[in-house]
Amino acid sequence: MPIEATSSFSEDLAQVAAKIAADRNLEPDFCERLTRALTQLWDVIAEQMQDDDRARFDSILVRVVPTTSVGARIELSDSLARSPAPPRGVLLVLAHDEIAVAGPILRLSPALADEDLIDIARRCGVTHMGAIAERTDLSLRVTDVLVLRGDDRVRAIVVANAGARLSDKAFARLSLQARDDGAVGLVLIARADLPELVVRFLQSNGGPEIRRALIERENRPRPSGVAEQVAKSIRRTEDGWLEHYDFDAARAILPRLAEARHQVDPFVRRLAQQDRFPELVITLAEIGGLPLDAVKHMLVSVDTDPFVKLARAVGLKGDTVQEILMVGPWLHRLDARSREAAMLAFQTTDADEARARVRRWADGEPH
C-alpha cells in the first residue's frame, strides 16, 4: 500500500474510531455493516497494518461486535483465527463467545497464550475445552486444565492429540477413564510418551481388550525413529515439570558451595528437607562436575538410576537420598515402589564404579 494511501487510511480509521467512541447508541444494523466491512478490510491489509491502526481497529470492533449477528461474528473469527498479530481485544471477545464463533480462534489462533486458553477453559466450560483440545500444540499447563476439569469427551480429544503434552497428573486421570472406557484406553496406550506407571496400572486394572493391546504393544517391533520420538516426548514432559522453578534465582546458593564441599551430605540434606529443589539441583551439579541441564533432568526423570549413581559418587547417605526422592517433581512423579527400587539400587551400587561413571558423564558421555 503506498505511503499516501496508508496515511489516508489511518486518518479515516481514526475518525471512525472517534465516532464510535462518542456514540453511545449505535444501531445494530450499522454495527453489522461496519463489522462485515472491517472483516473484509482486515483480509486485505492485515500484513501492512501499523500498530496504531491495529489498536484503532480493535477499539472499533470491541465496541460493535457484541451487537452483530452470529454470522458476522463467525466471519470475523475465521478471518482473525490464523493471524499472528490480530487485534487482541476483539480476539478475546470472540474467543469467549458461543462455540460456533469461538471455535476457529480456539483451534487455530497462534496469538492465544497459555494464560488465555486456561482462562477461557475455566470460564466457558467443556464445549470450549473441546475446541482448545484440538490445537496442534498444547502445553502441560493447558492439558492439565483440560484433563482435570473437562469431561470424558474432552479427555478423549486430548489423548488422541499427538501435540498435547501430558503431565503425570493428566496421565493418571486418563488411566482412570481408560479403565472403563476401552476406546480411550486403546488410544492412550498407543501414545509414544506413555509412562511405565500407567502401563502397570492398566495391566492390573484395564479390561481384557486393554490388557491384550498392552501385550501386543510390548511385543511389537518399533519402527525406525520411534525411540527418538519417545525420547523427545519424555524430554518435553520433563521440561514441563521444570518450568515452574526459578534456577536463576537459586544461583545465590553458589557462594556457599565451599561449605558444601567439606560437608556434602548435611548440606544437601538441609536443602532437601527445606524442599529447595532448584538449589539442590545446582548444588549437585556443581559438586558432581556435571552440566546443570543434565542434573535438572536427572532429578525429574522417573528413571532414578542416574541420580543413584550421582548420589553414591558424591558421598550422600541413605537418609539424604530418601529425602531427595520426596522433593520437587519427584513428590508427585514417583510412587512408593519406585522409591523403594531407588533405595535398593543405591544400597547395592559400588561407590568407585559410581564415581567412574560420573567422571565419564562429566567428560560428555550421555547418562
Domain coordinates in residue numbering, the chain = 1-112, 247-362
pLDDT in tens, 246-283: 999 999 998 888 777 778 999 999 999 998 999 999 99
CA 268, CA 306: separation in Å to the nearest integer? 17
What stretch of H or E contains 141? helix 140-149
Length of the chain: 367
Question: Across residues 114-130, what is the average pLDDT?
Answer: 95
Tell me the pLDDT tens digit for each residue of 299-321: 998 889 999 999 999 999 999 99
Model pLDDT for residues 85-96, shown as the tens digit of each residue: 899 999 999 999
CA atoms 318, 320, 323, 324: torsion sign: negative
Residue 198 or 2, more confident: 198
Confidence of residue 11 (pLDDT cuts 50, 70, 90): confident
Output the nine-digit C-alpha cell for 350. Answer: 559400588
128-130-136 Cα angle (round to 5)? 110
What value does the mean pLDDT take over residues 56-63? 88
* pLDDT reading at 160 higher than 70: yes
How many angstroms separate the CA atoms of 73 and 101, rounded? 6
CB 328 within 8 A of CB 245: yes
For the entire predicted model, the pTM comes to 0.64
The helix/strand/coil state of 134 is: coil
Rounded Cα distance between 96 and 179, Å, is 34
% of the chain residues with pLDDT over 90: 47
